[in-house]
Structure 1
Amino acid sequence: MDLMQFFGMILHVDKTLGMLLAQYGIYVYAVLFAIVFCETGLVVLFFFPGDTLLFIAGAFCATGEMSYPLLMALLIAAAVTGNTLNYYIGGAIGHRVFTHDYRWLNKDALRRTHDFFEKHGGKTIILARFVPVVRTFAPFVAGISDMTHARFQMYNITGAVLWVAGLVTAGYFFGNIPVVRDHLTAIVLVGVGAAVVPLALGGIYKVGRRMLSR
Structure 2
Amino acid sequence: MSDILDFLNHLLNPRWIFVHFGNTALLILLAIVFSETGLFIGFFLPGDSLLFTAGIFGEDLRKNFYNIPFFVIILLVALAAVLGNIQGYWLGYKSGKFLYQKKDSFFFKKKHLILAKLFYNQYNSIALVISRFFPIFRTFAPIVAGILHIDFKKFMIYNVIGALTWTYSIMLSGHYLDKHFPEIKDHIEWIIVAIICITTVPFILTMKIKKKKFIT
The answer, yes or no, to whether TM exceeds 0.5 is: yes
Q: 1:141 maps to what in 2? A: 144
Between 37-46 and 66-75, report the one with greater CA deviation.
66-75
The alignment status of 1:66 with 2:69, answered yes or no, reads: no
Q: Is the 8 A contact 2:135 2:200 kept in 1?
A: no
The aligned counterpart of 2:41 is 44
The match for 2:90 among 64, 88, 91 is 88
Q: How does 1:190-205 map to 2 (within 5 A)?
A: 191-192=198-199
Q: Aligned pair 1:32/2:33, yes or no?
A: no
Structure 1 segment 1-214 matched on structure 2, within 5 A: 4-21=5-22, 26-61=23-58, 64-67=59-62, 68-101=70-103, 103=105, 104-175=107-178, 176-178=182-184, 181-189=188-196, 191-192=198-199
Q: d(CA) in 1 for partners of 2:144 and 2:5? A: 31
Counterparts of 2:148 and 2:156, CA distance in 1: 14
Q: Equivalents in 2 of 1:40, 1:111: separation in Å?
A: 17
- How far apart, in 1, do the equivalents of 2:189 and 2:91 lie? 38
Change in 2 beyond 3 A, CA 1:4/1:167:
same
Residue 28 of structure 1 and its aligned partner are, at CA, apart by 1.6
Q: Name the structure 1 match of 2:66.
A: none
Distance 1:118 1:160, change over 3 A: same
- Deviation string 1:90-126 (CA, Å, 9 cap, x unpaired) is 0001233224436453101111111111111111000
- Asked if the contact 1:130–1:195 (Cα under 8 Å) also holds between the matched residues in 2, the reply is no
In 2, are the aligned partners of 1:41 and 1:86 still within 8 Å (CA)?
yes
Identity of aligned residues (%): 28
Aligned length: 195
Aligned AA for 2:45? F
TM-score (norm 1): 0.80
- Contact kept, 8 Å, 1:113 with 1:137, in 2: the verdict is yes
Distance in 1 of aligned mates of 2:94 and 2:104: 14
Alpha-carbon distance between aligned partners in 1 of 2:203 and 2:43, rounded to the nearest angstrom: 18
Instruction: Name structure 2 gaps, 5 residues minimum.
Output: 63-69
Which amino acid counterpart does residue 19 of structure 2 have in structure 1? Answer: G
TM-score, normalised to structure 2, is 0.79
Report the Cα distance in structure 2 between the residues aligned to 1:9 and 1:194, rounded to whole angstroms.
Answer: 24
Deviation for aligned residue 1:4: 4.9
Distance in structure 2 (CA, Å) of the matches to 1:6 and 1:50: 17
Question: Structure 1 193/45 Cα, relative in aligned 2: closer, same or farther at 3 Å?
Answer: closer
RMSD value over aligned CA atoms? Answer: 2.6
Q: Which residue pairs with 1:210 in the alignment?
A: none
Aligned residue for 1:65, secondary structure, equals: helix
By how many angstroms is 1:5 displaced?
Answer: 4.3
Question: Distance between the aligned counterparts of 1:195 and 1:157, measured in 2?
Answer: 24
Moved more, 109-118 or 2-11: 2-11
Query: Given the superposition, is the C-alpha separation of residues 194 and 159 from structure 1 closer, same or farther in structure 2, using an over 3 Å criterion?
Result: farther
CA contact (8 A) 2:135 2:203 kept: no
